[in-house]
Structure 1
Amino acid sequence: MARKKIVFVIVEGPSDEEALGALLIRIFEKESVYVHVNHGDITSKSRVNPSNIVNQVGNCIREYEKKNHFKRSDFKEIIHIIDTDGAFVKDSVIKEDQQAKKTIYSPSEIRTMNPHDIIDRNKQKRENILRLIMKDEICNIPYSIYYMSCNLDHALYNKLNSSDDEKEEDSYQFAKKYSKNIPAFIKFIKFPTETHVPLGRGINISKIYGIIYIQEILFPSL
């Protein structure tokens, strides 16, 4: 029997893996799914810019390939799932709030102690995402990028500013809910407005099911 091809999925954190990993394994049951957790946002990482972002993503593949003695031909595709984190909003909706110990997101604004830091981060993140959107391959492996807006908690659970404990519990419950009902999960992903996604929230990993574009939105009314 031929070895299963690897579907290499890149996510930002453990809660992304918890919520989506088992479901993607079910969907890609004819392939071998590996979920790579970046433990952070590669698109806003220090010193990462459009000139080296593709290489940064490629490093994830090369390290896994070397560690596990794989060849490029062992990979089927790379699926990269990111959070938008408000990167595409106008600077004017980023508000100073000296009481905000961490960045606070809402459907109408982003509140932070240091607005200029968020403005700079957003610019970096936008530029890196737009560079990645242009790539059909990385390391000679088919590559596609998808988003959670403004992040996984917002897209999947309709929550913002969740604590780490809440993220862990919500991701567990989400995976539990859909693990035995993959058609319902696919419907949720493909047709979010038919479930509970309100205006201003977006999720697009629909290329998995044949749609070949990425749409970047966060607050469409702004």
Structure 2
Amino acid sequence: MAKTRKKVVLLIVEGESDETLLIDRLRELFRDHEIRFEPQRGDILYDARKQRKPIKEVIGDTVKEIRLKRKFKQTDILAVIHIIDTDGCLIPEDNVVIDKEQEVLTYYQNTNISVQSGTQMNNILTRNNIRGRNIRTMNSVDTIVSNKYAYQMFYFSRNLEHVIFNEANPSSETKVDNIEEFLEELDSPLEEYLSQYMPDIEAGSYRDQYIASWTFISEGIKSLQRSTNVPLMFNFIELKSSEL
């Protein structure tokens, strides 16, 4: 008898640190599935080469490219999971401020994004507008590619390192090494550790909590502050698995 092929959980992430943090725990919990990370090494939500296309189409095209590259059949894919950093992109425009004395071009703080110049302010405002619009589009859809694939978007705010280490402006050179060291010292399940940074929302169905987590992070300056709804990702995979 032919061996049944494992269903694929496809995770679209910005960089390697997301994969380093999550892959072992996901493989441990979901042994019946193939856990496949696809780092984009860039911001799919704000890619100048793709801004003329609707974001849902951009992400759908990305999934199609991955499926062809990995030789997956459409029916192989259980779900597409998209993990993003908020980078403060949902804050009001007034919370992007100029500080000509700062040494770096852009500096993220708990209440604002500080920039060196008016030019950089315009760059950040444009980025926030485009990313924010695309995030609001994608966190409100459940499927992509003509309803072929279940889809959900999850976030680290303001980024993964902010949640794990409380580092507001992390150095890219040490990200993966720091995550590996963190995992070696972690003495509780990863999802349990992350749960302490979940938004303060009422218990309810997975769907209700997912919507509430996005409502929370979209308010005021919360997308600059330390929070994540990634623990719900584990519930989502369990939910889709139960539907098989």
TM-score range, shorter chain: 0.7 to 0.9
Aligned residue number for residue 122 of structure 2: 116
The answer to whether structure 1 residue 125 and structure 2 residue 131 are counterparts is yes
Amino acid across the alignment from 1:190: S
Within 5 Å, give how 1:61-100 maps onto structure 2: 61-98=63-100, 99-100=102-103
Distance 1:90 1:46 in 2: 23
Aligned residue number for residue 186 of structure 1: 191
Q: CA deviation at 1:51?
A: 5.1
Amino acid across the alignment from 2:150: P
Q: List gaps (5 residues or longer) in structure 2.
A: 199-221, 238-244
Aligned residue number for residue 242 of structure 2: none
Aligned residue number for residue 105 of structure 1: 108
Structure 1 vs Structure 2 CA RMSD: 2.3
Distance 1:127 1:141 in 2: 22
Amino acid across the alignment from 1:112: V
Q: CA deviation at 1:2?
A: 1.0
Distance 2:137 2:90 in 1: 14
Distance 2:65 2:149 in 1: 15
CA-to-aligned-CA distance 1:174-220 (integer Å, 9 cap, x gap): 33344xx6x52121223337xxxxx93111113324379xxxxxxxx
Q: State TM-score, norm by structure 1.
A: 0.83
Greater shift after overlay, 24-33 or 116-125? 24-33
Aligned residue number for residue 46 of structure 2: 44
Amino acid across the alignment from 1:104: Y
Contact 1:100 1:112 survives alignment (8 Å): no
Amino acid across the alignment from 2:235: G
Aligned residue number for residue 230 of structure 2: 205
Q: Which residue, out of 1, 23, 26, partners 1:24?
A: 26
Q: CA deviation at 1:124?
A: 0.5
Q: CA deviation at 1:151?
A: 0.6
Amino acid across the alignment from 1:204: N
Q: List gaps (5 residues or longer) in structure 1.
A: 194-198, 213-222
Aligned-residue identity in percent: 29
Distance 2:179 2:104 in 1: 24
Contact 2:197 2:226 survives alignment (8 Å): no
CA-to-aligned-CA distance 1:59-88 (integer Å, 9 cap, x gap): 221112112222110000011000000011
Distance 2:166 2:114 in 1: 19
Contact 2:154 2:233 survives alignment (8 Å): no
Greater shift after overlay, 32-41 or 100-109? 100-109
Distance 2:52 2:235 in 1: 27
Distance 2:14 2:161 in 1: 12
Q: Count how many residue pairs are aligned between Structure 1 and Structure 2.
A: 205
Distance 1:172 1:210 in 2: 24
Aligned residue number for residue 145 of structure 1: 153
SS in 2 for 1:60: helix
Contact 1:94 1:119 survives alignment (8 Å): yes
Amino acid across the alignment from 2:196: F
